[in-house]
Amino acid sequence: MITRVGEEDVFHDHLEQIQNRQSLCEICRGGTRENTVGLAVDILCLDQKNVLAVDKLGRLPLHYSALCGLDTVCQKILSHVQDQGQASSLILSLDAQGYTPFHYAVAENHVAVAKIFLDTLKVEGRLSGQPSFKIMSHMQSLLNIAIRGSAHEESPVYVAAEIGRDDYLKILLEIGKKTNIDDPQLPYGWSALTIACIKGHRKAAELLVQAGASQRIPDYRGWYAIEHVVLRGHFSLAELLKSWDKSQMTGNPVIMSLPPVHHAGSDLSVTSDHAIVNIGVLQNGKQVKGVELKNISSKDKILTGLSPPLDMSVSVGSTVSHLVHLPILSDMANEPFIFPIHNPNEAHLVFKFYRQGSSCGKGDLIGSAATLLRSEEDYFGPTRESLFRGHTIPILAKETSEILGTVTFTFLIAKQPMDLKTSPPIDNYFPERGTQLVGHRDVQLTRDFVPVIFHDFSLSESGTDVPIHDLTFEQVGILRMTRVLKAHYGSLCTQANSNFPENIHIGDMETVVQSAAQNTRQRSRSLTTTYIQEIHPVLERMRYTVDLKNKGFKPNTRGSFIQGPFTTLRELLVKLPDSINFNVEISMSLSVQYLFFQSCGLNLPEEEYPRLHEAIEAGLAPVALEINEFVDRILDQIFQNARGRKIILSSFTPEICILLAIKQKRYPVMFITNAGKLPASDLEMRACSLQAAVRCSKRWNLAGIVFASDILLLCPRLVGYVRQSGFVCGSYSSLNNVPENVRVQQAAGVQILMADRVGVVSTVLNESHMDPFVNVSTRLTRHM
């Protein structure tokens, strides 16, 4: 018998035996390379008796070819008997154990062989006019093997949809398994379409929809397929499903219990900094493993799926360590390790690798990796940091310092809390009075840490793409003040040089501007009589800036947006009545700080929330203000000037929400996500879906979540899921300007509605009492 097919010398050694009618069963059973076996089969199949020879187990050569996955050999054997109409008989021939070649192909997951058998059976079925009873009697058992049933006895169609085997599913649907396509399966009552949606198998869901699977059958907990899709963030799959009658989808909140989570508060000491460490990256689309071993020596070699696996110990300095079993199979995005830092200047993160099951002593150590947590200060200084939070460091062997692989991680340093005074319950902010209308303006932080009101990332009016955070308050203000003065003393084009006052000290600029404003009739016209003359030089100067190139316009341009001298966050807090409540949004995306004003009503512009990849595409440096410095400055302004005003803090960025939850307890924190807006631009794992946002908010004990209204309009009952999970639920996007969309969300229970068309939305919500609630958002560069 040839035991290792593929070695040509072995083949020639046995050629004489083959020619002497050695059993073809042994040839097909013998090896793994089809070329050599194929030569033997061609010789032996010249005599049909060899093809039909049976060994002591009752197996034909075709049994062994199918068992070994030799699709070419199977094709050769069948071609020699197909003319006599014996192909189907061979495929369905039972051995001593009652199994056919088709059984073995399916059981061993040899799809190519199974397809050859199926095609052959279909051909013979067509020639005879109808499939034979023998063929059909074998199909159910074959497919049950192909998609092995679980303890709950799921149907073959269900299991094929669950594991995403489109090829099996297509076969099942083609042979008439459509009659029970919508049968609910234990234990949750999920149909085949539902499980395909849950797992995100687009092709499987498409096949089921084409086969007529119902989208309107709920599971045992009342969830519909599209709700599972939207909950888990499979938004491209949602396009396959029919839109719902929104009037029938409101009310009766969907309830699904969440697993218990460990809140952050109990982890943290109030007297030290903390390092929050995640293994792996926190961005979707990056094919990077948390731990990748590449060069383990033969003595300690670890093969995936084979023992002995490794344990990884994670620690910061001499603090307590956490043990992780490798490989990491679960989603750890919301399961970070938290370490106190007692000496920030010397804090270092250490990874040690041991044989799994050992005592993790020195003798069991295989390799280690380490890094200083404060190393970025050497590159960017104490007030700047990289937008990239992911780090990859080498694992060095214990004895030789040879590189064994890499470990990838992200970390966030949370400096000491600022204020732990307990806030009132967030329910006090949102009494049962219907939906609250919210709008916004924007604020940014200058290089000298002054929060100023400005809409965009860069000061394009200067003719450059310089970001606001790279300019001082005086530098940012001088251009705006100059334009106001020029507008007062004469047009930019004709009177700038002759009438503009000279030698004005920067300290006197504000006084002059206020005087100019007082001498001008307020709001006498939307545009000045010299508007075209004034705006043309500005637009010409901005022609080559990123904003104007990408959007075709520049927000804050006079005439397009009302414009005046900069005001500051402090001025808003001091000058606006305390009865106006604030939602201060602190988001990190290209250092842009956005300010919302409820009752003023300008919604979040979709194009004006650039992410890191957009910054790189625009040629902008991926560097931001240091995150703790930024958050601390904003909180300091709020603590000093808020007085008795009700304030909510919020952010698009998980790291900002984490810091807000750690640094203070006075004000509730809300997480904002743009999950559901296509094309997806935010690849953050903790914000990529409604489910991910809920889990992140649970982990850090946040008060609420604000979603892009797209997903809430697609599945209004998910508002109930969010609220039943213990969160305030809000929404934003341009869809909120449509009255019907406002009504749907109001009926579903949305508590915060951010919109542009304040008058229209107010009319729709006029039956609900709305307190004035200013939504102030401060935005910093998006960190990884």
Taking alpha carbons only, the member of 85, 86, 37 closest to residue 64 is 37
Mean pLDDT, residues 255-260: 54
Q: What is the pLDDT of residue 269?
A: 66
Strands 728-732 and 647-651: unpaired
Per-residue confidence band for 346, with pLDDT thresholds at 50, 70 and 90 = confident
Q: Is the pLDDT of residue 777 over 50?
A: no
Rounded Cα distance between 454 and 376, Å, is 29
Give CA separation, 622 vs 296, 378, 386, in Å: 35, 16, 6
Q: How confident is the model at residue 363 (pLDDT cuts 50, 70, 90)?
A: low
- In terms of Cβ atoms closer than 10 Å to its own Cβ (0-12, 13-18, 19+), residue 90 is buried
Average pLDDT for 620-624: 73
pLDDT band, very low/low/confident/very high, at 350 (cuts 50, 70, 90): very high
Give the integer Cα–Cα distance in Å for 163 and 401. 42
Report the chain's terminal Cα–Cα distance, integer Å.
Answer: 59
User: How does residue 480 score in pLDDT terms, banded at 50, 70 and 90?
Assistant: low
pLDDT at position 630, please?
A: 86
pLDDT at 19: 45
566, 484 contact by CB (below 8 A): no
Tokens in use for 511? 């006084």
The arithmetic mean of pLDDT across residues 537-555, rounded, is: 68
Q: Which pLDDT belongs to residue 231?
A: 93
What percent of the chain has a predicted confidence (pLDDT) above 90?
Answer: 16
In tens, the pLDDT along 714-753 reads 999 999 999 999 999 999 988 999 999 998 998 888 988 8
Averaged pLDDT, 2-16: 41
Q: Measured between alpha carbons, how far is residue 132 from residues 92, 123, 179 in Å?
A: 12, 12, 21
Judge whether 263 and 700 are in contact, CB under 8 Å.
yes
Beta strands (DSSP E) in 606-695 are 623-625, 647-651, 669-673
**Which of residues 380 and 599 earns the better pLDDT score?**
380
Buried b (16+ CB within 10 A) or exposed e, 492-526: beeebeeeeeeeeeeeebeebbeebeeeeeeeeee
Q: What is the pLDDT of residue 384?
A: 83
419 DSSP assignment:
B
Instruction: For the chain, give the mean pLDDT.
Output: 73
Of the ranges 84-98, 125-139, 309-323, 456-470, which one carries the lowest mean pLDDT score? 125-139
Taking 70 as the threshold, does the pLDDT of residue 31 lie above it? no
In the predicted structure, residue 204 carries a pLDDT above the cut 90: yes
- State the pLDDT at residue 548: 67
pLDDT of residue 201: 94
CB 717 within 8 A of CB 253: yes
Kind and range of the H or E element at 712?
A: helix 709-714
| Res. 622 pLDDT band, cuts 50 70 90 | confident
- The pair of structure tokens assigned to 518 is 């007082």
Query: Which whole number is the average pLDDT over 40-57?
Result: 77
Of 17-31, 488-502, 672-686, highest mean pLDDT:
672-686
Highest-confidence segment of 246-250, 354-358, 532-536: 354-358
Task: Calculate what percentage of the chain has a pLDDT beyond 70.
Answer: 63
CB burial class (10 A; 0-12, 13-18, 19+) of residue 190?
Answer: buried
Quote the pLDDT of residue 550. Answer: 67
- pLDDT band at 762; cut points 50, 70, 90: confident
Label residue 590 by pLDDT band (50, 70, 90): very low
Q: Please check the confidence at residue 324 and state whether its pLDDT lies above 60.
A: yes
Hey, what domains does the chain have and what are their CATH numbers?
8-248 (1.25.40.20), 269-414 (2.60.40.150), 426-439+568-780 (3.20.20), 455-551 (no CATH)
In terms of Cβ atoms closer than 10 Å to its own Cβ (0-12, 13-18, 19+), residue 231 is: buried
Q: Is the peptide bond before 308 cis (omega within 30 degrees of 0)?
A: yes
* pLDDT tier for residue 603 given thresholds of 50, 70 and 90: very low
CA pair distance 311, 358, nearest whole angstrom? 9
Does the pLDDT of residue 253 top 50, yes or no?
A: no
Taking phi over 0 as left and psi of -120 to 50 as alpha, with beta for the rest, 555 belongs to beta
Task: Report the pLDDT value the prediction gives residue 245, as an integer from 0 to 100.
Answer: 63
CA 371 to chain centre: 27
CA distances (Å), 74 to each of 55, 108, 371, 656, in order?
Answer: 17, 15, 56, 61
Q: Which of the pair, 66 or 619, is modelled with greater confidence?
A: 66
Least confident stretch, 260-264, 266-270, 601-605, 699-703? 601-605
Contact 652, 687 (CB under 8 A): yes
Report which listed range, 49-53, 202-206, 243-247, is most confident.
202-206
